[in-house]
Structure 1
Amino acid sequence: MYRLASGIAILLATAACTTMEDRDGMPIVSEPMVAPILTTPEAQDNLTYAEPEKARVTHVALDLALDFAAKRVGGTAELRVLADPGDERLVLDTNGLEISRVTDHVGRDLTFEIGEQVEEGGKGAPLTVMLNGVRNVRIHYMAPADAEALQWLTPEQTAGGEYPFLFSQGQAILNRTWIPTQDSPGIRQTWEARITAPKPLDVVMSGVAQGEPEDLGDGRRAFRFVMDKPVPPYLIAIAAGDIDFRAIGPRTGVWAEPSVLPRAYAEVGDTEEMVVAAEELYGEYRWGRYDMIVLPPAFPYGGMENPVMTFLTPTFIAGDRSNNGLVAHELAHSWSGNLVTNAVWGDSWLNEGVTTYFENRIVEAVYGKKRAEQEAALMYANIQEVLSEVGNDAPGTALSTDGGYELGSAIAYDKGAFFLRTVERIVGRERFDAWLQQWFDNHAFQPATSEMFYNDMMQNLVASEQEAKALMLRDWIFAPGLPSNVAKPDPAAFAAVDAAVEAYAASRVIPAAYSDWTAAEQMRFLDNLPATLSAGELAQLDASLGLSGTGNNEILFLWLEMALENRYAPAVPLAEEFLARVGRAKFVRPLFGVLWDQGDWGRPIAQRIYAKTRDSYHAVTRAGVDRVMAAD
């Protein structure tokens, strides 16, 4: 199925690595674990310039300084390289990096060349280094001020309002804008870092902190981190700001700005219980600690599963833990995605679909079957909505594709989850759970492809030819649409809510029980109301259900989307405030899209708001809204 790069006889280590210090006092990994490289055709990543079968990066050591005034980061990246004798070209990924010098580990210059820049798709430019027999390469560089992986926030963009903030978001191929390495999910690397930052800011990374920060005596401190397990490079992440920490359990805790920390801590209080539930399902949590940081609202995603330090948006905080499926999702990535990773982005469902299934199992274990079934029903509705828009035979609706998840979460996430729900339903939960745990165990710290997943199912799960036909595995993974054997959610999950939707559609009866419903039930109701509503009807809904004043951003988004689709002018100021406060692409991009679709009524509003908010958004969010605003 896979093999190590030709001629390289390195055993995949299974124990934790030891550390030591180099001549500069910097901790380094002495015997890093080395992950295999997949060489089958379906594992070839067209979004990297790297040639890992010839020369590959196995370890990255960063020594970087954060400059908040210039909004730049720079220093050195020392790369440990594995190469066959005679392969003297190391090819790396970069995008906008200013490379001043490339040397070996003792400072002797190495010849290097930066190739042609490719702007489309963010692929950037190749950096080719002639190794001349060395296997440690030190790159002296500076990341550009507009590095797309990094967002530098002014004090005004933070809750405290006193200090600046920095965070990174590397998925899918953005980390090449601040780290010169082989930026492909199939080329896993261990790493370490020494980061200097001005006082009193704290720095966290997706690696294990090494001791206390070192006071450098010049108004700056140095922070050190080590990740001794090979990870895909998009999982190297950093955040720096005025942040405090509070422990949840013996291996879990949360960071946030001081004024946000009490609410963040209260919201994620079930995390230790979730870790225990996840381990009972699919085996040991292998990363040591599971900490989280709740970032400022400019963060473009709901969460990012960076190892040992999940990044979270504050928009999930509702005060009642109703959106904690997000925490369960990012935790589940510690197995599906971080432990076993898609080798190419066209197989991203191996990360996201498996994780979404796993998330639902954690939710069931911690919060009960009713909530899990309701959240699954919302997922199924997402799939149905997308398929009704693009067609059941649209190529992008296959799980394994030539690109990423272009149709949003409904395919890679939700269809992927329902694939596994269907398999579980057919073979039984006990057999399925045993199979999925062995998948994680046997492919730990390695990349994988859809073909590998399919073959493993056929070899280790499927019991007979008859069962293989019933499972329809290849149809699920490689064919578009939703196979006929899909295990549909329990129709009783939302029976009362769906009845209330019908009653409202027929006679505009607002359900008295709305305030007693779960957040999932409230979202189901709002998402299924008639598409066309009058200003009076919208005003009545808002007044009766308290939609404008809800503390749940998921519900607020649905209200604003519905109101703007109906050109409800009283909702515009709230939408403007929301879009100025929140940078989460899931909310921002659709709301601008709704305004843009409203033509002469909505486009001037969208243009006015975006002129004020664009610079406050992360590059991921900006790119999505830019596409919306450019549409005819």
Structure 2
Amino acid sequence: MVVVDKHSLANIAAIKSTHVAFELTADFDRHVLHGFVEITATVVAATTEFVLDTRALYIQKATIDGEHVLTTQVEDAVFGTALHLPLPESVRAVNSTFKARIYYETTPDTTAIQWLPKEQTADKTHPYLFTQSEAVHARALFPCQDVPSITTVFTAAITVPSWATCLMSAVASADPAPHASKPVTTFYYEQNVAVPSYLIALVVGRLDSREIGPRSRVWSEPSQVDAVAYEFAQTEDFLKNAETIMGQAYVWGRYDLVSLPPSFPFGGMENPCLTFATPTLIAGDRSLADVIAHEIAHSWTGNLITNETWEHFWLNEGWTMWLQRKIMAKIYTELHFDFDAILGWTALQSSVDAYGAAHEFTKLVPTLDGCDPDDAFSSVPYEKGFNFLYYLSKLV
């Protein structure tokens, strides 16, 4: 079945990306990432071009299998800019495979990257950057097929200032390599489990870390790291309980966490191998650790199996709320599952009241024609999705 994604300008019915390779440098003076991305792709329906999603990117040049191609760009009022790459005759047929390399820079208008001055960090000694690509902001990080229905493996070589550490939603593939004559270091990563574009993430900052389990390490600014390690010490228990409930081992290798600066605007983000967490979770008594259970749950529900389009976002979050509550019930008791579900129902009611009961965004599967998926974000897909699954569980 051909997937129709209302939030992409890419020709996803004709071409499927399979591998992405990054070679980028973080320039903190200019607030840009620059370098290239190389996309390996396969033609699945005969076509004359490869169309990619972009937003606020400066495209310098592009090649297909090493040959220069002329690009054209077509802007859309909501979803960014379509980047058109003409395909050589030799790779237009079905089952043809090719490599498209695009040299580019991000721009200060990117919606995917936050460049923080040192004053916006906890330690206030060095600047910081982090990315946030869900739902449709990966196109502002790199040219891509920015849809959840297409997944790729990826590799990356990211060069950063020598004072900084680079982390990604992947595992390290080699030791960091300091440059012989410049004050920079290159970090190497690979992700061998295919992920959608919105789960490709990056953090660069002055960071310290602590091991908290056999497959987990926490990262944060140095002044916060011990408190973060204490707060998230239950991580391995959460992972083991999730594996038991799902009947499947955790497949991602590492489960690390990074506590971001106070300006991080979300509770958590389930980037594979590296959960992003707000420092507001550091309560000192582990009382907010269920957020980490939620992000761990996404390792199965959302990251391994992802909603096909953003109109079905409840499939990611409804299942994840169910698994989160099952994990926490194993840590505490089954009563915890029920009590947290009651709190979730209250949050759902608040969202419905705020929208109005007849509003499109209160539907389990809303129609999002011409609408940025971010505009529909609320507790509805989380808690309405959970309650639908809870209802089904009582029928079987």
The 1:179–1:158 alpha-carbon spacing in structure 2 relative to 1, beyond 3 Å, is same
Q: Is the 8 A contact 2:71 2:83 kept in 1?
A: yes
| Residue 82 of structure 2 is aligned to residue 118 of structure 1 | no
User: Per-residue deviation at 1:374?
Assistant: 2.2
In 1, distance between residues paired with 2:356 and 2:144? 39
Q: Is the 8 A contact 2:15 2:45 kept in 1?
A: no
Secondary structure class of the residue paired with 1:372? helix
Q: Is the 8 A contact 1:56 1:90 kept in 2?
A: no
Match of residue 240, structure 1, among 196, 200, 204: 204
User: Per-residue deviation at 1:405?
Assistant: 6.9
In 2, distance between residues paired with 1:386 and 1:306? 26
Match of residue 414, structure 1, among 358, 369, 383: 383
Match of residue 82, structure 1, among 18, 42, 59: 42
Secondary structure class of the residue paired with 1:212? strand
The 1:152–1:345 alpha-carbon spacing in structure 2 relative to 1, beyond 3 Å, is same
In 2, distance between residues paired with 1:81 and 1:250? 36
Secondary structure class of the residue paired with 2:69? coil
| Residue 240 of structure 2 is aligned to residue 271 of structure 1 | no
In 2, distance between residues paired with 1:58 and 1:190? 7
The 1:375–1:86 alpha-carbon spacing in structure 2 relative to 1, beyond 3 Å, is closer
1:295-444 correspondence to structure 2 within 5 Å: 295-403=260-368, 404=373, 406=375, 408-427=377-396
Structure 1: any 5+ residue segments left out of the alignment? Answer: 3-38, 428-632
1:349-399 residue CA offsets vs partner (Å, 9 max, x unmatched): 011111111111111111323333222111011122333444444432221
| Residue 129 of structure 2 is aligned to residue 173 of structure 1 | no
The 1:389–1:124 alpha-carbon spacing in structure 2 relative to 1, beyond 3 Å, is closer
Secondary structure class of the residue paired with 1:229? strand
In 1, distance between residues paired with 2:205 and 2:214? 25
Match of residue 19, structure 2, among 59, 79, 83: 59
Higher relative CO (CA 8 A, sep ≥ 6), structure 1 or 2?
Answer: 2
Secondary structure class of the residue paired with 1:200? coil
* Counterpart amino acid of residue 109 in structure 2: D
1:127 match: 83
1:50 match: 10
* Counterpart amino acid of residue 305 in structure 2: V
User: Per-residue deviation at 1:230?
Assistant: 1.3
1:19-46 residue CA offsets vs partner (Å, 9 max, x unmatched): xxxxxxxxxxxxxxxxxxxx1xxx4111
Larger Rg: 1
Q: Is the 8 A contact 2:19 2:40 kept in 1?
A: yes
1:577-597 residue CA offsets vs partner (Å, 9 max, x unmatched): xxxxxxxxxxxxxxxxxxxxx
Match of residue 162, structure 1, among 125, 128, 145: 125
In 1, distance between residues paired with 2:109 and 2:162? 24
* Counterpart amino acid of residue 113 in structure 1: T
Q: Is the 8 A contact 2:16 2:44 kept in 1?
A: no
1:7-156 correspondence to structure 2 within 5 Å: 39=2, 43-84=3-44, 86-106=46-66, 108-115=67-74, 117-120=75-78, 123-132=79-88, 133=90, 135-156=98-119
Secondary structure class of the residue paired with 2:110? coil
User: Per-residue deviation at 1:407?
Assistant: 5.4
1:261 match: 225
In 2, distance between residues paired with 1:153 and 1:336? 31
Secondary structure class of the residue paired with 2:252? coil
The 1:169–1:390 alpha-carbon spacing in structure 2 relative to 1, beyond 3 Å, is closer
| Residue 245 of structure 2 is aligned to residue 281 of structure 1 | yes
In 2, distance between residues paired with 1:385 and 1:148? 28
User: Per-residue deviation at 1:194?
Assistant: 0.5
User: Per-residue deviation at 1:48?
Assistant: 0.6
In 1, distance between residues paired with 2:273 and 2:128? 20
In 2, distance between residues paired with 1:112 and 1:406? 31
1:230-284 residue CA offsets vs partner (Å, 9 max, x unmatched): 1110100000111112111111121111111111111100000000000000122
In 2, distance between residues paired with 1:60 and 1:408? 28
User: Per-residue deviation at 1:312?
Assistant: 0.5
The 1:55–1:265 alpha-carbon spacing in structure 2 relative to 1, beyond 3 Å, is same
1:299-319 residue CA offsets vs partner (Å, 9 max, x unmatched): 111100000001011011111
Q: Is the 8 A contact 1:103 1:109 kept in 2?
A: yes
1:196 match: 159
Secondary structure class of the residue paired with 1:341? coil
Structure 2: any 5+ residue segments left out of the alignment? Answer: 92-97
After TM superposition, the score normalised by the length of structure 1 is 0.59
In 2, distance between residues paired with 1:56 and 1:280? 34
Secondary structure class of the residue paired with 1:152? strand
In 2, distance between residues paired with 1:321 and 1:420? 28
* Counterpart amino acid of residue 239 in structure 1: V
CA RMSD of aligned residues (A): 1.6
The 1:85–1:362 alpha-carbon spacing in structure 2 relative to 1, beyond 3 Å, is closer
The 1:371–1:210 alpha-carbon spacing in structure 2 relative to 1, beyond 3 Å, is same
User: Per-residue deviation at 1:211?
Assistant: 2.0
1:312-364 residue CA offsets vs partner (Å, 9 max, x unmatched): 11011111111111101111011111011011111000111111111111111
1:441-499 residue CA offsets vs partner (Å, 9 max, x unmatched): xxxxxxxxxxxxxxxxxxxxxxxxxxxxxxxxxxxxxxxxxxxxxxxxxxxxxxxxxxx
User: Per-residue deviation at 1:158?
Assistant: 1.3
| Residue 179 of structure 2 is aligned to residue 223 of structure 1 | no
Q: Is the 8 A contact 1:78 1:105 kept in 2?
A: no
Q: Is the 8 A contact 1:405 1:411 kept in 2?
A: no
* Counterpart amino acid of residue 263 in structure 1: A
Greater share of residues in strand:
2
Secondary structure class of the residue paired with 1:248? strand
| Residue 215 of structure 2 is aligned to residue 251 of structure 1 | yes
Greater share of residues in helix:
1
Aligned residues: 383
User: Per-residue deviation at 1:111?
Assistant: 2.3
Q: Is the 8 A contact 1:155 1:163 kept in 2?
A: yes
The 1:389–1:179 alpha-carbon spacing in structure 2 relative to 1, beyond 3 Å, is closer
Q: Is the 8 A contact 2:360 2:367 kept in 1?
A: no
Q: Is the 8 A contact 1:252 1:291 kept in 2?
A: yes
1:121-146 residue CA offsets vs partner (Å, 9 max, x unmatched): xx111001012035111101111022
In 1, distance between residues paired with 2:69 and 2:360? 46
